[in-house]
Amino acid sequence: MPRVILNPHMRLCFTAVLALLAISLRPAAGMSPCPPQNELQAKAKIVVEARVKSLTIGESGLLVTEGAPTRMIRVDLEIKRVIKGKYPGKEAIVYGTVYPPGPLKELTMMALLVGFGGDDTFEWELARQEIGDGAAFFSMSRCSYYKFPVYNVGPD
């Protein structure tokens, strides 16, 4: 078993991430609409041009109240370039929940198009969520900044 999983600090951080995601599973009553994408881009601290390496939807393993969904979304991104802010890595992992999932349809399309020409990259905000003691994760929400290529797939 990898030593990282056995590290008590990493287990605590992972448990905290899962707990925070479980707490945010309930949608707010009367959720307000998201601001326009240009406003979201202006407020974003880190924006990257990325490509989807993998997209997974599966059980989170969270212990939540009965009837609450336990599925999570994980997107592994390959960073092509940083558009705004600073991000030293070449990869990032973004987590999302079902309430609300964000642009899942677009991310799925991008995951399918990887390697088919030059239109397999998109702009994405890396929204960092701090969970204490220097631990953080990137989250996906319906009000994150993103800009996907436009594909004309319907009849003209």
pLDDT tens, residue by residue, 5-60? 566 766 665 666 665 555 555 454 456 788 898 999 999 999 999 999 999 988 87
Instruction: Give me the half-sphere count of Cα atoms (radius 13 Å) on the Cβ side of residue 51.
Output: 15
Any idea of the CA torsion for 131, 133, 138, 141, to the nearest 10 degrees? 20
Quick: pLDDT tens for 90-125: 999 998 877 766 788 888 888 888 877 777 899 999
**Quick one: which of 4, 93, 1, 100 has its CA closest to 53?**
93
pLDDT at res. 80? 95
Tokens of 104: 């899942």
Tokens of 69: 């969904």
Q: Whole-prediction pTM value?
A: 0.71
